[in-house]
Every structure is written in C-alpha cells, then in structure tokens.
Amino acid sequence: MADTHSPLPAHQTKHLHTLTYPFVHSTFHLAQSSNGTSHGTALWLGAQLLSAYLAAELKDVHSKLKTPKTFPRAVELGSGIGLTALALASLGYDVLATDTAYVCNSVLRRNIKTNLPHLPPSRAGTVQVRELDWFVSSDMWNWSDQFSITSPTPSNEAPKPNGIEDTLCPPFDLIVSSDTLYDESLIDPFFTTLQALCTQGRDSTSSIPTKYPLVLIALERRDPALISTALARAPISLAQVPTKKLRKALDRSGIRWDGVDWDGVEIWRGVGRL
C-alpha cells in the first residue's frame, strides 16, 4: 500500500477528475480524463517515476546556469496531463511540452495554464504546449508555429514579442518521454521523432562528433515482448537506470510506495554521439 501522505500510484486515481499532486516545493492541480478516447489524458506511473527521478538528478540545475536568466531547454514527447513538464519547469527548465492535438486541447494546455503561474518565480522556467505528430516527417516541421510543430496549415496568430513567449526550438539539452511505448505502431515513429530532435539545431559540418542531448525514457513493462522490441529499435544506446536508484529518488520525493505499487516501471537513459 502507498503511504497516504504521498501521491497515490496512478492506477489508484484513474477515477478522479482532478489530482492534487505535491512535488518538491510546489503543488500541482491536474485535470485528467480516463474516458477511453486517448491514453494521454490520464496520469500514468511512468510520469510519476520520471518526475521523481528528475527531482533527484536535476536539483542543482540553477547552480550551473551561466546567467540567472538562461535556463536549459527540454522537450517532452507525449506530455499527457503535464506532470513531467511542470516538474521540469519547477526545476529550472524551459520546456516544450508536446502531444497530439486532442491531448493538447483537452487537458494539457489547461493544466499548464492553471499551474505555471504558481511555480516559484525566481527559479522556474516556462512551459510551451504544441502539437507534435510523430507520423509527420521532420522536414515538414514548422518551429515558428505557436500551436503545432506539425500543423498542415500555418498559424494565423500574430508573432509574439521577443522574450519567453518566443517559440522554443532545437537544440535541446534534455529530451524526456514517459508511457509512450505501448503499441507497436508507435515504436518507429517515436524513435524517428526522437532522433530528429536529437540532431536538429546542431552543427552537422563540424569535424567534432555531435553530442546527443540527455535522453530519458520512462516505460511500464506491461507487454515485455513489445518493450524489448522497442528498446532494440532505439537509434541511440540506452542504459537502464538501476531500480535501487529509482527507489532512492522516490524516497527523496516523499513518495512512500511499496515495490508492488510501481512494479514493471523502468527508466532508460541515453547519452551518446551521432
């Protein structure tokens, strides 16, 4: 059983329309829906584990900033209800949160708009929400559109003034994703999109090998064969984060779960060169 003073595991909260979710020095209020229309409109265990791991690993991000106004940039594939994106913003990242048009319009934009103003202003980055269709080739992406990177038609909205409202674009320092490898039809589009995000905005003419951004993928091994197939198709080398380290990350985040509460959830880390 999970400790009643920590966030409950996602499978125990699917019936709730709004989650009150404590995270480090913030509390998020997250709308969710589990009506069967989309997997992305409800909280899943991978996002919970990934957020706790990020809090443990990135706690000193502000001490590494070159200037107080320079935040590292992260992009999330499959942001869902926005827990991980908000967690990263509270840890000092400017975050591009992406998902399907349906998820963006039903829960993601609302949750970011509701919670972002309440993050610590002196430490928090920003979050931008944009549609990213993994089935659209990267040579068709439009980084200047404020609503959809893969929209078939350009946005009619006037450009925003310079500042944090400028659209976030590559290169990114960090790429994260959770609970997105659950169907075989998504595996190749997911990794094609991931590889494009790793390479765009980097100098391909340099004689020095280009470094990948840090990549973190959280998944739940419901179908072991599917997950093994997916990991074998990854375009970068991935190493599993030890379970002991995930347990310590949960403890530091105040999440008091038994092993059965998150059994089968893994985080894979990739850092390499192209």
| Segment-wise mean pLDDT, segments of 10 residues, the chain, 274 residues | 70 94 93 84 96 87 56 96 97 96 96 94 89 96 95 54 67 96 96 94 62 92 95 94 96 91 96 55
Q: How high is the pLDDT of residue 162?
A: 38
> CB-based burial of residue 36 (10 Å sphere; 0-12 exposed, 13-18 middle, 19+ buried)?
exposed
Three-point CA angle 255, 180, 98, nearest 5°: 95
Burial of 187 by CB count in 10 Å (0-12 exposed, 13-18 middle, 19+ buried)?
buried
Query: Residue 250 — left, alpha, or beta (φ > 0 → left; ψ -120 to 50 → alpha)?
Result: alpha
Q: What is the pLDDT of residue 37?
A: 76
| CA 42 to chain centroid | 14
Instruction: State the amino acid at position 246 in one-letter form.
Output: L
- CATH numbers and ranges of domains, the chain: 10-270 (3.40.50.150)
Quote the CA–CA distance of 26 and 224 in Å, as a whole number. Answer: 35
Question: What pLDDT is recorded for position 36?
Answer: 73
pLDDT at 203: 62
- Check residue 64 and give its pLDDT: 55
How big is the chain by its Cα radius of gyration, in Å? 18
How much is the pLDDT for 159?
Answer: 43
pLDDT confidence of residue 67: 53
pLDDT score of 214: 94
Nearest to 75 by CA among 243, 194, 159, 248: 194
Global confidence as pTM: 0.90
